[in-house]
Amino acid sequence: MKLREIFATNLRRLRHASGLSQEELAHRAGLNRNYVGLLERAANSPTLDTIERLATELAVEPVRFFDKPAGH
């Protein structure tokens, strides 16, 4: 499983856990809504700065985006 796929899976999981829509999360993190969708489909490779902003808005440690999904 590629790193961006692990990230994508965790981003979607953590965003759902927060109750935020893609649009809400994008707005809070200063990102384009479509870009959040791309990240959740592993279609783009975010920078560390973007990862940090997403972690801040989701109130999680950045390392949580790298947890390996069960079964991998």
For a second copy, the binding residues (CB under 8 A) are 2-4, 7, 45-52, 55, 62-63, 66
Residue 45 CB, shortest distance to a second copy, in Å, is: 4
Q: How would you class 14 by CB atoms within 10 Å of its CB: exposed for 0-12, middle for 13-18, buried for 19 or more?
A: buried
Q: How many CB atoms lie within 10 A of CB 36?
A: 26
Residue 49 CB, shortest distance to a second copy, in Å, is: 4
Q: Which is nearer to a second copy, 19 or 59 (CB)?
A: 59
Residue 19 CB, shortest distance to a second copy, in Å, is: 24
Distance CA 22, CA 36 (A): 6
